[in-house]
Structures are given as C-alpha cells and as structure tokens.
Amino acid sequence: MKIKVALVRCDSYDRDKVKAAITKLIDALGGFEAIFAERKACGVTLPAISSDSPLILKPNLLAKAPPEKAVATHPEVFRAVGELLRERGYSSITYGDSPGNPVLSTEKTADGCGIKAVADELGIPVGDFGSGREVEFPQARASKRFVLCNEIADNPYGVINLCKMKTHQLERITGATKNSFGCVFGMNKAAFHARFATPETFARVIADLNRLVVPRLHIMDGVVAMEGNGPASGEPVEMNVILASLDPVALDATFCHLIDLNADLVPTQLACMEAGVGEGREEEISVIAIDVPMIPDGKELTLDEVAAKCGNRYFDVQRGKDYRGRFRVLGPFAKLLEKKPHIVRGRCVGCGICVETCPLEDKAILMGPDRKPVYDYSKCIKCYCCQEMCPEKAISVKKSLVARISDRRWGV
Ligand code: SF4
Ligand code: SF4
C-alpha cells in the first residue's frame, strides 16, 4: 500500500479556515485514534497514545520573528492542532523547541513568534527545553550520542511535529525531517554543525535524530512558505497548502515536488531514506487531495498531479547540482558553482549574534574595527549558522553566476 500524505488547500491564516483545514487533514489520515495507535516505525514499536498520555507540540521556533515573516510555524496552525487535541480529550500537552539562538529561551522565542499567547490561551505550558541530557544511540550512523532537551528525552515518541515549509542554505529545504534538529539542546546544535560540516554528513545526523525521536504525526505549515535566503532571511511566499503525514520523508518529497525541486538532490531525503526513516520514492506515495479545485475531496493523486494543481515551479530554491555534493569531482571548476555567506553592510546593526553563532572554535567571522563582521573564508565551513541567526537579514548568500543560473526556473 502506498504511503499517504494529506494535502488541503488553505488560502489564509483565518482562524476558522485553518481549523477546518486541519480537521480535514486529521480525518483524511483516519482521526487521532488511528494516528496514535501502536505501530512500527524507524525500527521501533511506537506505543499507543491514550487521552492522558503526554504529547509535545513541536513547532519550528528557529528565531524570534513575527508570523508574517514566515520564519516560524504560524500560531493559527499551532492553535488549530492544540484545540483539536483538547476537544478530542487529550489532556497532557506541552510545547517547545530549542531555538537557534541558545541565549534566548524557548518561551521568549515563542512569545516573539506569537505562539506563546496562543499556548497560554489554550492552557498549554512550555515543556522543559531549557535543560538537556545525553542520550546514547548506539545504532546511529553518524552520531552515537545526542544531548536532547529534557522534554524530548523523556518522551521521544510523543511528539507532534508542526514544521514550516522553508528553504535552507545547507540542505536546500527544511521541512519535516529537518525540524527534528530543534530537539537537540542549546549550544549542542552548533557543535553538530562544526563536527558534521557538509550537507551530506549533517543530513546523516538528521536521519539519526529522526530514528531516535519519532514523532507521531507531521503537519507542515505551507500557507505562507519561505523561499530564497531561508530558513530565517528569505521571503514569504504564498503556497496556500497545509500537509500532514505519518511519514516525514514522504511529506518532504511532496514539498519538493510542489516546488519543482529534484528530491534526489536533497541530502536529508537521501540520508533519511537510506536510514529507513521513511519513503521518498514518488511511485510509493499518494496524496489525498482536499479542497483542491476540480478534484473531488479524498481523491488520491500522484506527486506530479498534485504539483500540477498546487505547485509553484518558480519557487526560489537551490535547484542546481551543488559542487559540495555529487559535483565535488569538478575540482578547480567547482568554483563556478560556489556560494558563500556575505554581509549586507547597510542592514547590519553590529549586534554580533553571527559571531556568537559561528560553531567553530577558531571563528570564521569576527567583528571588524567598524563594528561590522568580516568573514575569513579560508576557515568558513559554509554551515550558514550565522546567516540563519542574523535578526536583520543582513547576511545573504552570494552565488556565482553559474550557480544562479542553475538554481533558476526561467518563466518566459
Ligand atoms: S550581520 Fe546580522 S547578526 Fe551579524 S552583526 Fe550584523 S546584524 Fe548582527
Ligand atoms: S562564518 Fe558562518 S557559515 Fe562560516 S562557519 Fe561560521 S557560522 Fe558557518
């Protein structure tokens, strides 16, 4: 049987519309009882979840940014899921994420994203994301130990992943599988970036994490997505969809199809498939369409069919074959495809967050005499942590002309 992804058209964050859309998604997947039944995934048996089992809502809270910036999961998506769970009797719910900036608490970040206010209204407390502990994972392929936030370490099979549809400089996209990185506690995230510096090795860490922490349901907020310089400094773009699945790899494969990105070029997709996290092959996935014009509700579509109806082939994402991946063999010609972070000096306010965030002991970015940062590209591992965390969108990614051409879809 094919892996199911449910997709609903939703053209605004109007409270009632979002709730109706998410209700339909949950129903399309069989309802909470079926979703939370005991099942096998990632080589483990996930226990059944009952109404008093602890559940963790894990939105993407990368940085303190208002909802219209499309950096974090929209508060109305959070509200709809929280309300539905409450209405169906689930009583023990917390929420949280470990933000990109380790100095900021989860609560403060959630406040800046509009999620705290909604959580307070619903009586959903923030979980323990302010401390962490080491968890061994001997069967891992990349990292045999993780320092997880305590809330997650206590309940690794009770997470509902509320991810955001965005681009990512290192992994091309951040959707369902990549959102697991916020389960890692504080500064340990930077240490992973320094240790696993290439897109491929970092993707293997994400795959390990998705086998250690196995969410019960993945819901992707794509009403307004982020394109371009994601995951924090890109541009909001209407995609008008919300998606849900029990399989994060199938969900990300659908996202790739919607934006006309070859999923075989997405390192997290390849690593997660190799590790058995989920199914990314398009012939094994079917998309249950809801509220899609001219399509009867519940009809199952192929990924090509759903992309034709709901996709955006001009979505700004890295489509070219990155030299750091399979084109490493290009040697000196790899420079033709080079990308690197770059300071937009007019926007920089000299806060120094980029320097703090650089995971290298011997920093590749330092404040210059004019209180604006300067790169040492000979040290830079191109992890883009600095770009992710700049609150002023003052770090862009400079691409060579060839890289720009290979990333574009030309509309004529
Ligand atoms: S580039 Fe961004 S993070 Fe770095 S100092 Fe300037 S404003 Fe702050
Ligand atoms: S300067 Fe930026 S991209 Fe380079 S290693 Fe440091 S954080 Fe990563």
Provide the domain count of the chain: 2
CATH of the domain at 393: 3.30.70.20
Cβ-count burial 155-181 (b if 16+ within 10 Å, e if not): bbbbbbbbbbbbbbbbbbbbbbbbbbb
Note whether 179 and 303 are same-domain residues: yes
Task: Show which of 249, 278, 310 is a domain's final residue.
Answer: 310
Nearest-CA residue for ligand 2 atom 7 is: 358
Distance 386 CA to ligand 2 centre (A): 6
CATH of the domain at 188: 3.40.50
Q: What pLDDT is stored for residue 334 in this prediction? A: 59
Question: Of 104, 343, 345, 357, which is best to mutate to test ligand 1, by the most ligand atoms within 8 angstroms of its C-beta?
Answer: 343
Q: What pLDDT is stored for residue 412 in this prediction? A: 42
Note whether 34 and 150 are same-domain residues: yes
Structure tokens at 341: 């972070």
The SS3 call for residue 408 is: coil
Note whether 305 and 335 are same-domain residues: no
Question: Of 386, 389, 396, 397, which is best to mutate to test ligand 2, by the most ligand atoms within 8 angstroms of its C-beta?
Answer: 386
Q: What pLDDT is stored for residue 322 in this prediction? A: 63
- What's the pTM value of the predicted model, to 2 decimals? 0.92
Note whether 295 and 349 are same-domain residues: no
Q: Is residue 319 part of a domain?
A: no
Per-residue confidence in pLDDT tens, the chain, 412 aa:
999 999 999 999 999 999 999 999 999 999 999 999 999 999 999 999 999 999 999 999 999 999 999 999 999 999 999 999 999 999 999 999 999 888 899 999 999 999 999 999 999 999 999 999 999 999 999 999 999 999 999 999 999 999 999 999 999 999 999 999 999 999 899 999 999 999 999 999 999 999 999 999 999 999 999 999 999 999 999 999 999 999 999 999 999 999 999 999 999 999 999 999 999 999 999 999 999 999 999 999 999 999 999 999 999 999 987 645 444 545 556 566 678 999 999 999 999 999 999 999 999 999 999 999 999 999 999 999 999 999 999 999 877 777 667 676 655 4
What's the rounded Cα separation, in Å, for the pair 279 and 277?
7
What's the rounded Cα separation, in Å, for the pair 232 and 234?
6
Place of tokens 């034709």: 308
What's the rounded Cα separation, in Å, for the pair 38 and 173?
30
Sequence letter at residue 128: D
Note whether 143 and 197 are same-domain residues: yes
Q: What pLDDT is stored for residue 326 in this prediction? A: 47
Note whether 261 and 389 are same-domain residues: no
User: Residue 259, Cα to own-chain centre: how many angstroms?
Assistant: 15
Q: What pLDDT is stored for residue 411 in this prediction? A: 52
Nearest-CA residue for ligand 2 atom 2 is: 386
Q: Is residue 317 part of a domain?
A: no
Q: Is residue 320 part of a domain?
A: no
Size of the chain, expressed as the number of residues it contains: 412
Give the nearest ligand 1 atom to 386 CA: 3
Sequence letter at residue 236: P
Question: What residues make up the domain containing 397?
Answer: 328-407
Residue 385 Cβ inside 6 Å of ligand 2? The answer reads yes
Note whether 205 and 241 are same-domain residues: yes
User: Residue 385, Cα to own-chain centre: how many angstroms?
Assistant: 14
Q: Where are the alpha helices (DSSP H) in 311-412?
A: 353-357, 385-389, 401-407
Q: Report whether 387 contacts 397 (CB < 8 A).
A: yes
- From 133, 139, 233, select the one nearest 183 (Cα to Cα): 133
Note whether 364 and 297 are same-domain residues: no
Q: Report whether 143 contacts 192 (CB < 8 A).
A: yes
Strand partners, 374: 366
Distance 377 CA to ligand 2 centre (A): 9
What's the rounded Cα separation, in Å, for the pair 362 and 350?
20
